[in-house]
Amino acid sequence: AYNGPSADEVFEKRKKYLGPSLFHYYQKPLNIVEGKMQYLFDENGKRYLDAFAGIVTVSCGHCHPEILSAIEAQNKLLQHATTIYLHHAIADFAEGLAAKMPGNLKVVYFVNSGTEANELAMLMARLYSGNLGMVALRNAYHGGSAATIGLTALNTWKYPIPQGEIHHVVNPNPYRGVFGSDASLYAQDVQDHIDHGTSGQVAGFISETIQGVGGAVELAPGYLKLVYEMIRKAGGVCIADEVQTGFGRTGSHYWGFQTQDVIPDIVTMAKGIGNGLPLGAVVTTPEIAQVMAQKIQFNTFGGNPVCSAGGLAVLKVLDKENRQQHCADVGSHLIGRLRNLQQKFDIIGDVRGRGLMVGIELVTDRKEKTPAKAETAVLFENLRVLGVLVGKGGLHGNVFRIKPPMCFNKDDADFLVDALDYSMSKL
Ligand code: PMP
């Protein structure tokens, strides 16, 4: 049993010694002390079904035994030496990752986070194209560093500093977007930005394939195909941010961009790639990677042996446990049950997503789509009491984000929906 400090003690210490910009979920913050696969435990031993996976990060499951043993074995042998020496783990992991990529996406750079991956991708796009301007979607999250904060288009994260030359185009959101599901009208906005807001040339375009922080928003079907063509015509490269959507989570495909039938020039990854290890990657073509050779691109921990051994184990476990298919099966069961619940409760405005990347948008009026912000907050607290942890997001904080570890099963899905049903009936 746990005998460390209480939630109150930890919270006090955190307030004293950690920055005031930290935020926490729940009126009384949770003190999580242990995790096993899709379950988390607080200091009193209360079990929670984890439907948020540390923000879509724990892909295989908390403390997955095979990943733990790969990490432990490498830890005992060598923890760190940097890429100035050879190490087989980094090369093996890069090979394993490249094997998962379509087309000519074969060159890997390892970094430590999604923010770093997007920074590097943007640098490559600018060097390769010789242009500066980036096109990104409104409602996107791509990081919080000085450069990626410009790509991010959610007010919560936008500190007032220079943001670089970024063109934020209309978000192709089928539920709330002004053009519904009409990809060509949204794409026209990209062309308008290129024609009127730039010299006619851009460095690149970046987007998630299902917006994560923005509230599990799937892009209008066919959008990326149209936009990738426009961007390439304007001299830019196309970047897919797979930080949340990658590794089979969408069920139908291993990579989110495949749901839109495109092949990007650069793909960025983090979170699920390491099942909790600090790890990110940028994968691109040999031609684009070549622009980095004019200088040295160095990252002390990028591809560190322990992270590489863990990352390779993640790839193997996902294949061995057939997680992509599992996400498809459990995801369609979950989405089906949520759609039934939508028949019962008017507050559910939209149920969307793919596989185990699901969003539930709550509204007080289905026609006006008025965000049910206060109700979402109440339900969120009640779910926690019932032992279910979900994510919250979207422009108005009225979207539940269901993105559990991929070992989440149909019984878990039923428990989650039953808890939601009960909470909604008590509203
Ligand atoms: N891209 C996406 C789509 C993300 O969701 C996030 C994190 N929420 C990032 C990039 C940044 O990743 P990190 O926090 O690891 O820097």
CATH classification at residue 278 = 3.40.640.10
Q: Is 421 helix (H, G, I), strand (E, B) or coil?
A: helix
Is 380 domain-assigned? no
Ligand 1, atom 10, lies closest to the CA of 142
Q: How many CB atoms lie within 10 A of CB 48?
A: 20
If you write DSSP's letter for every residue of 237-290 in order, what string do you get? EEEEE-TTTTTTTTSS-SSGGGGGT---SEEEE-GGGGTTSS-EEEEE-HHHHG
Is 289 domain-assigned? yes
Q: How far is the CA of 331 from the centre of ligand 1 (A)?
A: 22
pLDDT of residue 1: 85
What is the complex's ipTM, to 2 decimals?
0.99
Sequence-separated contacts (24+) of 221-224 with Cβ below 8 Å? 221/181, 221/183, 221/260, 222/183, 222/184, 222/260, 223/172, 223/183, 223/186, 223/187, 223/260, 224/257, 224/260, 224/261, 224/262
Cβ atoms of 77 and 306 within 8 Å: the answer is no
pLDDT of residue 190: 98
pLDDT of residue 395: 85
**Is residue 57 lining ligand 1, measured as CB closer than 6 Å?**
no
Q: How many CB atoms lie within 10 A of CB 57?
A: 22
Predicted TM-score (pTM) of the model is: 0.98
**Nearest to residue 164, comparing CAs of 192, 128, 195, 122?**
122
**Is residue 119 lining ligand 1, measured as CB closer than 6 Å?**
no
Q: How many CB atoms lie within 10 A of CB 309?
A: 26
pLDDT of residue 181: 98
Is 31 domain-assigned? no
Q: What is the CA radius of gyration of the chain?
A: 21
How far, in Å, are 42, 250, 259, 273, 404 from residue 254 at the CA level?
Answer: 33, 7, 9, 12, 16
Range of the domain at 177: 65-320
Cβ atoms of 126 and 132 within 8 Å: the answer is yes
Which atom belonging to ligand 1 lies closest to the Cα atom of 118? 10
Q: How far is the CA of 57 from the centre of ligand 1 (A)?
A: 10
**Is residue 152 lining ligand 1, measured as CB closer than 6 Å?**
no
DSSP character at residue 37: B
The number of distinct structural domains making up the chain is: 1
Cβ atoms of 315 and 96 within 8 Å: the answer is yes
Q: Is 211 helix (H, G, I), strand (E, B) or coil?
A: strand
- Which tokens hold the place of 104? 């000519």
Is 126 domain-assigned? yes
Cα 27 to chain centroid distance, Å, stands at 25
What is the full per-residue pLDDT of the chain (427 aa) written as tens digits?
Answer: 899 999 999 999 999 999 999 989 999 999 999 999 999 999 999 999 999 999 999 999 999 999 999 999 999 999 999 899 999 999 999 999 999 999 999 999 999 999 999 999 999 999 999 999 999 999 999 999 999 999 999 999 999 999 999 999 999 999 999 999 999 999 999 999 999 999 999 999 999 999 999 999 999 999 999 999 999 999 999 999 999 999 999 999 999 999 999 999 999 999 999 999 999 999 999 999 999 999 999 999 999 999 999 999 999 999 999 999 999 999 999 999 999 999 999 999 999 999 999 999 999 999 999 999 999 999 999 999 999 999 998 889 999 999 999 999 999 999 999 999 999 999 9
Is 365 domain-assigned? no
